[in-house]
Amino acid sequence: DARRRALEIAHTISDRAAPLGVQATLASAQLARSGGEAAAFERLQPEVARLFTTQDAAEGVQSFVERRAAQFQGA
């Protein structure tokens, strides 16, 4: 049952979330495991700032304004 639920969550994320955001989240989690929470936290602000400059960020805002599903490109 846990595996089925995990797959449902993974599919929801892959269908709705921006790929760059998912990649950054996974990288942050891996850094927290290997380098500690402080290292992950230190990297968080510059990474979020970078993500806000992407085409996907603009698409997320535009899709929200237009009330439609976002079409993320990973760029």
Contact 68, 15 (CB under 8 A): no
Q: What is the structure's pLDDT at 61? A: 96
Helices (H), the chain: 2-16, 19-35, 37-51, 55-65
Q: What is the pLDDT of residues 2-50, one digit of tens each?
A: 999 999 999 999 888 999 999 999 999 999 999 999 999 999 999 999 9
* CB-count exposure of residue 23 (10 Å: 0-12, 13-18, 19+): middle
User: What is the rounded (10 degree) CA torsion for 18, 21, 23, 24?
Assistant: 170
How far is it between the farthest Cα atoms of the chain? 40
